[in-house]
Structure 1
Amino acid sequence: MTDVKSTNNPLFLREEELRQAIELLFFAYRDFTAGADQVLKDYDFGRAHHRVIHFVGRNEGMTVSELLDILKITKQSLNRVLSNLIKRGFVEQRQGEEDRRQRCLFLTEEGRKLEQKVSRVQRELVANAFREAGGDAVAGYRKVLTGLIDEEQRDRVMRRVTKP
């Protein structure tokens, strides 16, 4: 890798700058998930439960197949977490209206409360960081995160993320 000074030129990053960025991602993720983990711990849930609750909450009525596509996990892994959430009354599963073979997912009232409780901590953290960074930095952050998404998945992910 070329060792060129990168003063404000993101096209020429040194190895050390890339390592620092990766390390910052690790620390940011640790702190981003810490508050949510604490809330989830009270329910004896983990991050997999959080991801299911988040995406079902953002996409009410989504199918199990769509959720599998988003999470990129095995059916067995999803089934373990989803069964737990259904059994405990946070998610409900209904037959598809058009295709009765489909299993459509919805948060229950308890599920919505939990999703709000968990995401509130993260929304506040992100909002504070965005306020500190300013508008240009927020736009740059979104570009960087978008660039980290697999190129073949990027358009589909962005359509999902930016839907009203």
Structure 2
Amino acid sequence: MDDRRGPSLLFLTDEQLKKGIEAMFFAYRGFTADPDRILEKYTYGRAHHRAIHFIHRSPGTTVNNLLAILGVTKQSLNRVLRTLVDDGLVESRVGHRDKRERHLFLTPKGLELEAELSDAQRARMRQAYREAGPDAVQGFRQVLEAMMDPDQRRHFSTLKEPDS
């Protein structure tokens, strides 16, 4: 097979795929361990972390957009947002064009928590990327993007590149 992705991957065995799946499970545990310890201090969970992350990535995002990105129920997101708003981490503003819309922004307190959570994950990823090398980093991102459902990939591609 001669295509842009390189030689055929038909040589992958079920055992190699199983090891890849297991590696994803353990890597995810490691990737979430540091933020989990931080979130524990606030009695927050991963849903709070995801909301904080994506509100930070797209200040002013609407509740409906956040629902689409996170793929959770409105009831579930409302619980998370209510906590974050009540605790002074997120501000919800009424839309200028559509008064029914709610636009979400992190407060200074929310920005502090976001930075603490992101710093922990960036440190872990930076170390892993250094160990793996640039070719592996590019391949890793390609694999992750290929695993996304089309709708998830669309949301991922619309996120602006962060300022370096």
TM-score normalised by structure 1 residue count: 0.90
Provide the rounded CA distance (Å) in 1 between the counterparts of 2:10 and 2:145. Answer: 16
Partner amino acid for 2:57? R
Aligned counterpart, 2:129: 130
Gaps of 5+ in 2: 1-6
Matching residue of 1:30: 29
1:1-164 map, 5 Å: 10-160=9-159, 162=161
Q: How many residues align?
A: 157
Distance 1:112 1:152 in 2: 28
- Measured at CA, do residues 29 and 45 of structure 1 come closer, stay the same or move farther in structure 2, by a change above 3 Å? same
The one-letter code matched in structure 1 to 2:138 is A
Mark the CA change 1:14 to 1:142 in structure 2 (over 3 Å): closer, same or farther: same
Distance in 2 (alpha carbons) for counterparts of 1:121 and 1:9 = 37
In structure 2, how many angstroms separate the alpha carbons of the residues matched to 1:10 and 1:98? 51
Query: Match for residue 4 of structure 2?
Result: none
Query: Aligned in 2, Cα 1:11/1:163: closer, same or farther, shift over 3 Å?
Result: farther
What letter matches 2:121 in structure 1? Q
SS at match of 1:99: coil
- 153 and 31 in structure 1: CA distance in 2 versus 1, 3 angstrom threshold: closer
The amino acid of 2:49's aligned partner reads H
Partner SS state of residue 97, structure 2: coil
Opposite residue 150 of structure 1, the aligned amino acid is D
Structure 1 counterpart of 2:115, one-letter code:
Q
Unaligned runs of 5+ in 1: 1-7
- The alignment partner of 2:159 has SS state of helix
Q: Which moved more, 1:87-96 or 1:153-162?
A: 153-162
| Deviation (angstroms), 1:154 | 1.9
Q: Distance in 2 between matches of 1:158 and 1:67?
A: 15
Q: Secondary structure at the match of 1:93?
A: strand
Shift of 1:94: 0.1
SS in 1 for 2:98: coil
CA distance in structure 1 between the partners assigned to 2:57 and 2:77 by the alignment: 17
CA RMSD of aligned residues (A): 1.6
Cα distance in 1 for residues equivalent to 2:128 and 2:10: 24
In 1, distance between residues paired with 2:62 and 2:100? Answer: 10
Provide the C-alpha distance between the structure 2 equivalents of 1:124 and 1:33, rounded to a whole number of angstroms: 12
